[in-house]
Structure 1
Amino acid sequence: MADTTQHVAAPDADRIEQSRVEIIDDGRTESTTADSPGRETPAMAESGVNVDAAKKEFHDLEQSLSRQEHAHNAKDGNKDVEAQDEEDDFSLVDYLQSVYNESSQHGVKAKRIGVTWDDLTVRGVSSMQLQIRTFPDAVIGTFLGPVFSIASKLGLFSMGERKILQGFNGSVRPGEMVLVVGRPGSGCSTFLKVIANQRQGFLGVDGDVKYASVDAKEMDKRYRGEVVYCEEDDQHYATLGVQDTVEFALSMKTPGHRIERWSKKRDFRKEVAESLLKMLNISHTKDTRVGSAFVRGVSGGERKRVSIAEMFATRACVLSWDNSTRGLDASTALDFAKSLRVITDLLQLSVFTSLYQAGEGIYDQFDKVLVIDNGRCVYFGPTKEARAYMISLGFEDLPRQTTADYLSGCTDPNERRLTDNGGRFSVSNPPTPETLEAAYKESEVYKNEMELRRDYMYQAEQDSKAVEDFKDAVRNDKHRGVSKKSQYTIPLAEQVWYLFRRQMLIIAGDKRDIFFSYFTSIAIACVTGSCFLNLPQTAAGGFTRGGVLFIGLLFNALVAFSELPTQMGNRPILYKQQGYCFYRPASLSLAQLAADIPFSLPRILIFSVILYFMCGLVRTAGAFFAFFATVYVTFLAMTSLFRVFGTVCQSYDLAARLASIIITALVLFAGYVIPRDAMKRWLFWIS
């Protein structure tokens, strides 16, 4: 999890103890009514209802049903996997405290860095009018699309741009949590990405973002895995199990310097994975597939908790969460916020989170709140002062609305309500994003935040101990054989090994695909073999034998085409895990190639045996294995080619068209459809 091996300063005891009590109680309290228990109201007396007798009868019935249920569960050996018995209670505080104490004794240094941003401005592509694409548009996009892309990167061709964020200033110290609120499209996700140093996809990022005294460029070059972003959508391999997903993430981030009880890497993975699953209450799903919109697996809320566990497994010190409570019920969302509060306090993390419809209990877990309106910062300061600040500007207080919803509603012209009580804004003088930003920059809250930022920046520049401890901790996390300047934790060979194991589990998890691939290959081999059954051993059958060889190559090349949609569908997972610095892209390519062999080699061997001997080709071992080797190497080459298309193309539409053109050219110039001697001199090289 988020560096459970770090040595940190002693946290706020009151806050930790309060969080501990809340987590053990699971955020649930007994409901109360206005009337005291056992007391009859006048209305009840008039109706002749005996409340005490009714309650006693209900209590007796409840006890009877409970005894029957416990007896039935004991008889059948069943239990509620969602409910936690007393003996199964997991105390996150006690667990982290024990790890903290043991880490302190072993001299494990902490990774504690804050974040400051000065005049942060993000520029992106302006919105444009979308039109229905026609056939000429597809042709032009296919042939001239790469030209336009290169010209745009060279600055020869530019699209309209707009400012997504403008003039943001602030700071967050280690151990603080920031809640980011705003309407959809206001720029919350953009802010979280930029804070996590995820700058791809933007035309430019201006201003200065620092992590303690480390600038954004150095952080991206040397410590990219310490600043991570968890996107809103859950991107996972659907056929991989929940525990396998979490353990793989831990395998890629297993520290080289561990405490004594984690002397073996497997012990670290097993214990931390089990703790994460218990903390998120998904231990009962550990052997279930993660699933997706098309593959049956865990529920949407459980899949979201898998994403949260994977994020904690990165052991990063700056975390950006983009609406990570989507799909969670109110109780689970509150538990997540409390757990995040406990981990932040104990490990001194810097946490940024955007949540929609956050309850008051969730809102109270945060130290600061950032309110964004159309790319402008209209409030950044303590959570306890935010509501009063908005009311002082002239917004009507809505007591029945949670503070997070109230702050977000103040930026919505259709939802907010203004008063004429002497505030800066009124019904006759409604605010705009620009005027709200100007009002904030003139407030005492803004001045206090700027003073806090200057103090932290001065402290970070003068006292380099925290930064040196951070760099030493990152260096100690690296395994033997990993360069000190590398962004990754484990060496290349281990990356390939763990990726190979994961790829084997992914392929084996889709048994239906394996069955149909073998069935199709055997069926095509039998049909083709029956068409060319026992070809004559004469010159008349020479050209036909060439057709058999060509069909053997062509069929398996087309089978490799199935890698294209798979690669395109898994690309978001690759991007996410690249952001986490789990592995190099080259490691994934090598692992995929190696994992294909145990599944594809027997299939192509069966295909080759059926086709080769039914057609009556030369029945010698050397000739057969030459045929089999040629077919199999061609299959691997085409598989790699389609994976390249799936990696470099921006969309599946472009990748499919490009792959179709390439494979058509290869079929025509393979030497069978057009003999090599009949090819044009300027095209024969394709063969």
Structure 2
Amino acid sequence: MSPNHSKRRINILRRFNSVINAGEMLVVLGPLGSGYSTFLKSLSSETNSIYINDSIYFNYQGVPPHEMHKHHKGEAIYTAEVDVHFPMLTVRDTLTFTSRARCPQNLPAGIKYNQYSNHLRDVVMAMYSISYTVNTPVRDNYIRGVSGGERKRVTIAEATLSNAPFQCWDNSTRGLDSANAIEFCKTLRLQSELFGQTCAVSIYQAPQTAYDLFDKALVIYEGRQIFFGRADEAKDYFINLGFECPDRQTTPDFLTSMTAPTERVIRPGWENKAPRTPDEFAARWKGSREYQLVQNEIETYKSQYPLNGSSADAFREKKKSAQANGQRLKSPFTLSYMQQVQLCLWRGWKRLKGSPGVTIFSLIANTCTALIASSLFYNMQPTTNSFFQRGAILFLAVLSNAFASALEILTQYSQRPIVEKHARYAFYHASAEALSSILVDMPYKISNSILFNVTLYFMSNLNRDAGPFFFYLLVSFLMVLAMSGVFRSIASLSRTLSQAMVPASLLILALVIFSGFVIPVDYMLEVKGYQNVGPSNQAYSTVGSVPSQDFVNSDVYVNSQYKYFHAHKWRNVGIIISFIIFFHIVYIVATEYVSAKKSKGEVLVFRRGNMPIEAKGKADTEAASSGPITAVDKLNNKEIVNIQGTTSVFHWNNVCYDIKIKGEPRRILDHVDSWVKPGTLTALIGVSGAGKTTLLDCLADRISVGIITGKMLINSKIHDKSF
């Protein structure tokens, strides 16, 4: 297995052989960069930019790999170690959405859909001890909400509610304390025993209690499989190879130390027998008795679950019974498309409700912008002297409405990882979320269009007849929708934010220049139809061509100055509507099929003769195996700069931190006292959600929300801003 690159392929995984039965748990051990993430991704079909050899054999209890990856992707999921959620949703709303998205339709009689999903959500929250955070916003790394450990448990609960028979967990215990990491493994153990789910888990620095819960273990050393078998036999296998497990060292640490030449200890008398390089470990593994047992188990599994056999038919029937009425068997989703749109609409409303300040602030800011802009053209007189001013205010109105949706590109990219994760979990089509987002944003667009355009129209004293006003309002709103579709299409068709910003910036510049006001039509390039390519041109032509007074024929001025004709206004409305339909269709389709840029499996390559000393030492396995190595940077005969130390003592007394959540006061820190002095190392210990990060933020004066009380002193003096 290697990155899918046309010029060069780097082998990441080499000749892995393993089998996991239903109800079993596999722990994957190895150092960072050994390939355990790639291994888990390949099992769960997360193979973007990764080339898999055609000779590789996968068998999901009789279901062929191509069918599992395409039609049943929600049945084999990969949970990454990164937590991505909608920050404005509460924990309750986040998990309610998940439970409803994968709720089976074949419920027992008398049990309603929402009742079942809510009960399942509450059970999972209780399993992971996050019931007390039910009303707390999830937030993210920039906005304070639940703690990092609690957010990690929300991610785990979300994957658990997916109810996937095969689950791959990539370092999901990162950010959890030892107790919660053990509880996580116990929960997986309970799922496997009760529901027959299969779990493959990679854990870094796993506790011994957690390791004992697993049935099988897999050890990876630089992309080579050096052991696979029963978890309770892994330690004896490496001891028989000539290695010694030090006293008080846990089994997972001992197994991981096999991949580190500076950490593994060779037993006396085995110095010339024990393997040292990754290839030697792999060769010894393939010649071992345990390897033959694995091969026999694989052959037994193949005979018991032949591809497209009876077990595969039973799996398809079970999945079909859980799907909504009318849903295709080949569809990986449980809900129908309309149910997915309705569920995404519900979540979109919850997102707006969770952060109403952003919407309200945008409405107020745009209204103030209209007041300021229209004040420059306040109460224009109905004379020919105001012709140019009226053209300028209409030009400003068109551009303001056109670019009101420009920031939607940033919004699309902020939520794109979340939407793509949910699509991989088979919660909903990405296009369903795109369609719902269009509908959810409609009330804001209508309100903003009314507030902005009504203020601008009447303060500048444009034609105050009902017909011209409502036509102006209609065209302005259609302009907002058209450009929203354009910017959304650009965001969905590109794979990175930088790719999206380039065409968007050029488009904005082109619309400003070629709308017909900055550069008159007579001065544009003489290409037929060149000046009529943008929706802003159609809108400006329409609005600017309405006559304002009976005794002044403004059509003559508009025709001669801008080459716009009053008879074309309804034609141009139709053109704008066609822009709206076309670009929104492009946006919905592109969201479904164009994913964000994935990792290409970049590998650090040094120029010939320019490898750093540290890298050379790491590559010299023979030298590394002779004893422990301490990384010391050599001084290149440079003067040592003496850094003046500090003797100030920092202490705090009765530090309290209070915030309001949904109008209710909540105390996060309650009279915390302590002190630190130079030359000492202080450990901050506490369970997940205890307030460790909050305390550090308070001491560093990084809190912008809430009330902090207490004393924080340096040498018994209040610190200044330089602190």
Confirm or deny a common fold (TM above 0.5): yes
Residues of 1 paired with 2:149 and 2:19: CA distance? 32
Farther off after superposition, 625-634 or 366-375: 625-634
The structure showing larger relative contact order (alpha-carbon pairs under 8 Å, at least 6 residues apart) is 1
Which stretches of structure 1, 4 residues or more, deviate above 4 A after TM superposition?
none
Structure 2 matches for 1:76-91, cutoff 5 A?
none
* Residue 447 of structure 1, CA deviation: 0.6
* Residues 1:279 and 2:127 are matched in the alignment: yes
Residues of 2 paired with 1:463 and 1:564: CA distance? 44
SS in 2 for 1:209: coil
Structure 2 matches for 1:26-425, cutoff 5 A?
122-124=1-3, 158-206=6-54, 207-262=56-111, 264-422=112-270, 425=273
Conserved 8 A contact 2:63-2:307 = no
* Residue 174 of structure 1, CA deviation: 0.3
* Residues 1:503 and 2:344 are matched in the alignment: no
Aligned length: 531
List per-residue Cα deviations over 1:10-38 (Å, max 9, x = no partner). Answer: xxxxxxxxxxxxxxxxxxxxxxxxxxxxx
Conserved 8 A contact 1:395-1:425 = no
**What's 2:394 paired with?**
549
Conserved 8 A contact 1:560-1:635 = yes
List per-residue Cα deviations over 1:358-389 (Å, max 9, x = no partner). Answer: 10110011011111111111111110111111
* Residues 1:540 and 2:385 are matched in the alignment: yes
Q: Residue 480 of structure 2 aligns to which amino acid in structure 1?
A: F
Q: Residue 124 of structure 1 aligns to which amino acid in structure 2?
A: P
User: Structure 1 residues 357 and 323 mapped into 2: Cα distance closer, same or farther (>3 Å)?
Assistant: same
Residues of 1 paired with 2:150 and 2:44: CA distance? 25
**What's 1:99 paired with?**
none
Residues of 2 paired with 1:459 and 1:405: CA distance? 35
* Residue 677 of structure 1, CA deviation: 4.1
TM-score (norm 1): 0.75
* Residues 1:516 and 2:374 are matched in the alignment: no
Structure 1 unaligned spans of 5+: 1-121, 127-157
User: Structure 1 residues 261 and 407 mapped into 2: Cα distance closer, same or farther (>3 Å)?
Assistant: farther
Residues of 2 paired with 1:228 and 1:424: CA distance? 44
Conserved 8 A contact 2:516-2:531 = no
**What's 1:57 paired with?**
none
Conserved 8 A contact 1:185-1:374 = yes
SS in 2 for 1:568: helix
Residues of 1 paired with 2:98 and 2:110: CA distance? 20
Q: Residue 412 of structure 1 aligns to which amino acid in structure 2?
A: A
**What's 1:642 paired with?**
487
List per-residue Cα deviations over 1:19-68 (Å, max 9, x = no partner). Answer: xxxxxxxxxxxxxxxxxxxxxxxxxxxxxxxxxxxxxxxxxxxxxxxxxx
Conserved 8 A contact 1:241-1:286 = yes
Structure 2 matches for 1:459-608, cutoff 5 A?
459-461=304-306, 464-608=309-453
Residues of 2 paired with 1:462 and 1:285: CA distance? 45
User: Structure 1 residues 245 and 392 mapped into 2: Cα distance closer, same or farther (>3 Å)?
Assistant: same
User: Structure 1 residues 592 and 162 mapped into 2: Cα distance closer, same or farther (>3 Å)?
Assistant: same
SS in 1 for 2:18: strand
Q: Residue 387 of structure 2 aligns to which amino acid in structure 1?
A: G
Q: Residue 627 of structure 1 aligns to which amino acid in structure 2?
A: Y
Q: Residue 684 of structure 1 aligns to which amino acid in structure 2?
A: Q
Conserved 8 A contact 2:44-2:69 = no
SS in 1 for 2:265: coil
TM-score (norm 2): 0.71
User: Structure 1 residues 384 and 660 mapped into 2: Cα distance closer, same or farther (>3 Å)?
Assistant: same
SS in 2 for 1:533: coil
SS in 1 for 2:500: helix
Residues of 1 paired with 2:9 and 2:149: CA distance? 37
SS in 1 for 2:175: coil
Q: Residue 375 of structure 1 aligns to which amino acid in structure 2?
A: G
List per-residue Cα deviations over 1:459-509 (Å, max 9, x = no partner). Answer: 102993432221111101111121222221111111111111111211232
* Residue 645 of structure 1, CA deviation: 2.8
Residues of 1 paired with 2:386 and 2:57: CA distance? 74
Residues of 2 paired with 1:333 and 1:585: CA distance? 32
Provide the alpha-carbon RMSD of the alignment. Answer: 1.8
Identity among equivalent positions (%) equals 35
Structure 2 matches for 1:618-633, cutoff 5 A?
618-633=463-478
Q: Residue 466 of structure 1 aligns to which amino acid in structure 2?
A: S
Residues of 2 paired with 1:661 and 1:500: CA distance? 33
Structure 2 unaligned spans of 5+: 535-723
User: Structure 1 residues 462 and 499 mapped into 2: Cα distance closer, same or farther (>3 Å)?
Assistant: closer
* Residue 423 of structure 1, CA deviation: 7.2
User: Structure 1 residues 508 and 562 mapped into 2: Cα distance closer, same or farther (>3 Å)?
Assistant: farther
SS in 2 for 1:534: coil
Q: Residue 628 of structure 1 aligns to which amino acid in structure 2?
A: L
Conserved 8 A contact 1:394-1:424 = no
SS in 2 for 1:461: coil
Residues of 1 paired with 2:351 and 2:307: CA distance? 50
Conserved 8 A contact 2:64-2:308 = no
Higher share in helix = 1
Conserved 8 A contact 1:561-1:642 = yes
Within the candidate set 502, 506, 531, 1:684 is matched to 531
* Residue 203 of structure 1, CA deviation: 3.8
